[in-house]
């Protein structure tokens, strides 16, 4: 049975809850077991995944979070570096579905987070499961 770790940035709690609901629904429907940990923000997600991978307990990971553009350069740093960190981990062979939203405003975040709309949490869970399966098929 596939065991997934959901790593969830809780900076925007309500948006995180919506993304989490979509991811859990997909994982449950697929029969995957899952655990969840939370981190303060998107920059901490790659580090948390790397720490979890060292335990050998998980087949794959779902990264959930939200970065909303503000008035400073901080958005570019957080969005770019969290994506870069996740990509580096995937190139090391980890199966990760990236559900970190990078948006201009809260309305865009909600449209992507809600399961009834773009369901990016669910999509990230599907991506993680697909990568776990691909890794297994390559053997």
Catalytic residue positions, numbered: 74
- Cβ contacts of 96 within 8 Å, gap of 6 or more: 49, 60, 61, 62, 63, 86, 89, 90, 127, 128, 131
Is 68 labelled as part of a ligand binding site?
A: yes
Residue with tokens 């309305």: 107
Say if CB 4 and CB 34 are below 8 A apart. Answer: yes
Is 72 labelled as part of a ligand binding site?
A: yes
Alpha carbon distance 80, 3 (integer Å): 28
Is 112 labelled as part of a ligand binding site?
A: yes
Is 51 labelled as part of a ligand binding site?
A: no
Is 43 labelled as part of a ligand binding site?
A: yes
Q: Which residues are annotated as a binding site?
A: 11, 42-44, 66-68, 71-72, 98, 112
Binding residues for 5-amino-6-(D-ribitylamino)uracil: 11, 42-44, 66-68, 98
Q: Which residues carry a binding-site annotation for (2S)-2-hydroxy-3-oxobutyl phosphate?
A: 71-72, 112
């Amino acid at each position: 049975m596939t065991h997934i770790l959901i790593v969830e940035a809780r900076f925007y709690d309500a948006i995180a809850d919506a993304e989490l609901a979509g991811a859990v629904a997909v994982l449950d429907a697929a029969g995957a077991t899952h655990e969840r940990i939370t981190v303060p923000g998107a920059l901490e997600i790659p580090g948390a995944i790397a720490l979890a991978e060292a335990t050998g307990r998980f087949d794959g990971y779902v990264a959930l979070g939200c970065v909303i553009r503000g008035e400073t350069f901080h958005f570019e740093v957080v969005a770019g570096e969290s994506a870069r960190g996740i990509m580096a981990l995937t190139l090391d062979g980890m199966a990760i579905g990236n559900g970190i939203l990078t948006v201009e405003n809260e309305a865009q975040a909600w449209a992507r987070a809600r399961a009834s709309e773009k369901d990016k949490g669910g999509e990230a869970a599907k991506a993680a499961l697909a990568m776990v399966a691909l890794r297994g098929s390559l053997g």
